[in-house]
Amino acid sequence: MAIIVLYEGQPRAVGKSAAYHNLLPVSARLIEGEPLRVVAERVNMTGRTLRGLINRIDPDRPYFLLGELEISDGKTPALAGRLESLERYNLAIYQGGVLALHYARAQELQPWLDRVAVRGEVVVQFWLKPGEAAVTLGAGEKREEERIPAQLARFL
């Protein structure tokens, strides 16, 4: 089991094995705080973009994305742009056409926001404090799309 912590402004994994985590605990203490309630919603991403999903999430709520998406183009860097060092916890890893998300947020996903998923699923987790109302994904922004470009419409 691992725990994710914020260390110097970056998420890091803490666990008992250096093989799977990038920080090893020297000591630990438990600090009691408000209990959080986690609400999760599963989203089929086939034919969709991460930007479309993120547009449906209230940006004022804490959320995290977990899952795997198959994306056809293999030209994107293997690690998300904010991960300058392998010492940091990898929120998004792209290998072999598959983007794996592990507690990622919009700011970590810039290279992939507008890429269409061939297949895959994402779980959106919302972390709620006591008394906060339940959260669901919104409808998102509806955009009118012109299916036939204006340059070609005159030939119809």
Tokens of 22: 């990038």
Percentage helix, strand, coil, to 5, in the chain? 10, 35, 60
First-residue to last-residue Cα distance in the chain: 61
Q: Note the pTM of the prediction, 2 decimals.
A: 0.65
Q: Look at residue 45 in the predicted model and tell me its pLDDT.
A: 94
Residue 107's CB is within 10 A of a number of other CB atoms, namely 10
Please check whether residue 113 is in contact with residue 91, taking contact to mean a CB–CB distance below 8 angstroms: no
Q: How far apart, in Å, are the Cα atoms of 79 and each of 38, 112, 153?
A: 27, 11, 42
Q: Which residues pair with 37 in a beta bridge?
A: 128
Q: CA 98 to CA 49: how far, in whole Å?
A: 14
Q: CA 115 to CA 27: how far, in whole Å?
A: 42
Q: Look at residue 122 in the predicted model and tell me its pLDDT.
A: 95
Q: Look at residue 156 in the predicted model and tell me its pLDDT.
A: 62
Three-state DSSP class for residue 144: coil
Tokens of 8: 């110097």
> What average pLDDT values come out for the chain (156 residues) when binned by 10 residues?
68 65 66 83 92 89 91 57 50 87 88 90 90 74 53 66
